Amino acid sequence: FLKRRKMWNRFPPGPTPLPFIGNVLQMDFKCLPLCFRQMSRRFGNVFSFQVGWTNVVVLNGFEVMKEMLIKRSEDIADRPPIPFYSKIGMDQGVVMMKYGHAWRDLRRFSISTLRNFGLGKKSLEERVIEEAAYLCSVFESKEGQPFDAHYIMQNATSNVIASMMFGDRFEYDDKKFQKLLYFLDENMKLGKGLLPQILNVAPWLRHVPGPHQKFVSCILNFLSFLEEIVEEHKTSWDPAHQRDYIDAFLEEMEKAKEDPGSTFKETTLLAVTCDLFGAGTETTATTLRWALLLVLLYPDIQRRVHEEIDRVIGRDRRPALDDQMNMPFTNAVIHEIQRYGDIFPLGLPHFTYRDTEIQGFFIPKGIMVFVNLSSVLKDETYWEKPHQFYPEHFLDDKGQFVKREAFMPFSAGRRVCLGEQLARMELFIFFTTLMQRFTFIIPENQPRPREDPIFTFIFSPHRYQICAKLR
Ligand code: HEM
């Protein structure tokens, strides 16, 4: 007991908590990344705070993250319990599942199914190239007039996931599809702030009327939409013809039907479908929204990307992933969009799987840990111009592409983003295909769009209008 007490003396520092509520009044839940930046200036790169009686640790900066996420990855590979999510079964998917064999089975199955999907049929790359062509035709239909590409980007990225998960893509004006994307968007907006924290402390509140009902009904509507698709698959399922991820999962369920401890259950299927769809759509779409905004605001960078595309691919052939290695400037621009856009600043919450230490501080098993990815992507001791859009961060003095260790938008270690490869492919193919076809300009008589972000779990740009002129 004395030894443990001594270790607790080395718990990371933080502001003094009040009884019952902890530091809730001192925290700005509307923009946690900014709040964490200010706190790390005061308390250092490893600090803590309290929500009610619950301790939370925040890790900041490249050196701390390298030590924890890479060298001691397993120590923080767990996820915290989120009572509201557990009540609706969402802790059964790969995103919020506890670290252990079930998570490992599900993650391995998801990665290999998504990777191998379409063997002998359409490859993943072909699907993305095809979707990029649809995206271009929607841009072309605007005939150079101003428009907002917000939902169009979401249509494109969610169609890539939909075609792998459900075996089909949707037309961009499909009413059902638009409703689904609306729920996804609203979930993001409503999911920040104090409301979800309150639902977590008191999940029974979901049965009580109040402003939180909009958030609850968005999640439940999203789930019931996916439930319908799973039901349709179950009725038309033919083991001889595997159509998509859901079919592959149904096959695993069939194999394991005698095993009550199997990971492959219907509740897991619903949660993992929701996870992959949710995690794979908004993140990639938001990065593409940043991409268009930044080429709009930095015409010289846009011109240099156009030049490289014309030289390496030309105007007629469709861009493919192999082109990336011959296009150091475009590659650097895409990396810098991800670094500067900093779209998932705090990633997902971690939870200590065992007692651990970092930089002399002690963090016991069972503590929630935030990995502040933003503090790595904008680390002032690492990047030359951390707060500027500067593609040269990823170029050497001969103009060749260089990898940078502090480039961690997908996080790192055991819980690193499961869709990293897919996301990188989408970003390159969508961005390059759009840039090959169009010049993007700010509509006449409109103010310069804002460059600062809005925080809704992710950092997204303010809505803006764009003109896409055929090249
Ligand atoms: C987790 C970023 C696209 C599926 C994560 C995490 C980050 C991230 C930061 C949290 C890692 C951690 O807990 O430390 C991004 C970014 C994307 C992107 C920036 C696009 C630019 C995708 C796509 C998919 C996906 C396309 C779908 C196939 C997931 C899943 C997890 C995850 C399932 C949870 C992994 C686990 O807990 O084991 N992502 N992601 N992501 N991402 Fe992504």
**Per-residue model confidence as pLDDT tens digits over 129-169:** 999 999 999 999 999 999 999 999 999 999 999 888 888 88
- Residue 100 has φ and ψ, to the nearest 5°, of 160, -170
Residue in 244, 223, 219 with CA at minimum distance from that of residue 233:
244
Q: How far is CA 164 from the centre of its chain?
A: 18
Helices 420-437/150-165 angle, 10° precision: 130
Containing 274, the helix (H) or strand (E) segment is: helix 266-297
Question: DSSP code of 231?
Answer: H
Our mutation pick for probing the ligand 1 site, out of 370, 417, 421, counting the most ligand atoms within 8 A of Cβ, is 417
pLDDT in tens, 2-16: 777 788 889 999 999
Nearest CA to ligand 1 atom 26: 280
- Cα-to-centroid distance, 410 and ligand 1 (Å): 6
Percent of the chain's residues with pLDDT above 90: 67
Rounded Cα distance between 279 and 99, Å, is: 18
- Residue 171 has φ and ψ, to the nearest 5°, of -70, 150
3-state DSSP helix/strand/coil % of the chain, to nearest 5: 55, 10, 35
Q: How far is CA 230 from the centre of its chain?
A: 24
pLDDT in tens, 73-120: 999 999 998 887 787 878 889 999 999 999 999 999 999 888 876 444
pLDDT at 8 (0 to 100):
84
3-state secondary structure of 438: strand
pTM for this model (two decimals): 0.93
| Number of Cβ atoms within 10 Å of the Cβ of 322 | 8
Rounded Cα distance between 444 and 146, Å, is: 9
- Cα-to-centroid distance, 139 and ligand 1 (Å): 28
3-state secondary structure of 399: coil
pLDDT at 434 (0 to 100):
98
pLDDT at 205 (0 to 100):
62
- Cα-to-centroid distance, 236 and ligand 1 (Å): 31
Residue 350 alpha carbon, nearest atom of ligand 1: 13
3-state secondary structure of 115: helix
Containing 153, the helix (H) or strand (E) segment is: helix 150-165
Rounded Cα distance between 365 and 378, Å, is: 29
pLDDT at 325 (0 to 100):
95
pLDDT in tens, 381-429: 999 999 999 999 999 999 999 999 999 999 999 999 999 999 999 999 9
Containing 439, the helix (H) or strand (E) segment is: strand 438-441
- Cα-to-centroid distance, 25 and ligand 1 (Å): 31
pLDDT at 53 (0 to 100):
84
Is-contact 33 452, C-beta < 8 A?
A: no
Is-contact 406 62, C-beta < 8 A?
A: yes
Question: DSSP code of 345?
Answer: T
Is residue 210 predicted with pLDDT exceeding 70?
no
Side chain identity at 345, as an amino acid letter? P
Confidence of residue 196 (pLDDT cuts 50, 70, 90): low
Ligand 1 pocket, residues with Cβ under 6 angstroms:
94-95, 107, 275-276, 279-280, 283-284, 287, 343-344, 347-348, 371, 373, 409-411, 415-419, 422-423
Q: What is the DSSP string of 3-56?
A: HHHHHHTTSPP-PPPBTTTBTGGG--GGGHHHHHHHHHHHH-SEEEEEETTEEE
Nearest CA to ligand 1 atom 7: 410
pLDDT in tens, 5-46: 788 889 999 999 999 889 988 888 888 999 999 999 999 999
- Cα-to-centroid distance, 372 and ligand 1 (Å): 15
- For residue 339, give both structure tokens: 């670094």
Is residue 431 predicted with pLDDT exceeding 90?
yes
Residue 93 alpha carbon, nearest atom of ligand 1: 33
Residue 276 alpha carbon, nearest atom of ligand 1: 27
Nearest CA to ligand 1 atom 41: 419
Our mutation pick for probing the ligand 1 site, out of 283, 411, 416, counting the most ligand atoms within 8 A of Cβ, is 283
Average pLDDT over all residues of the chain: 90
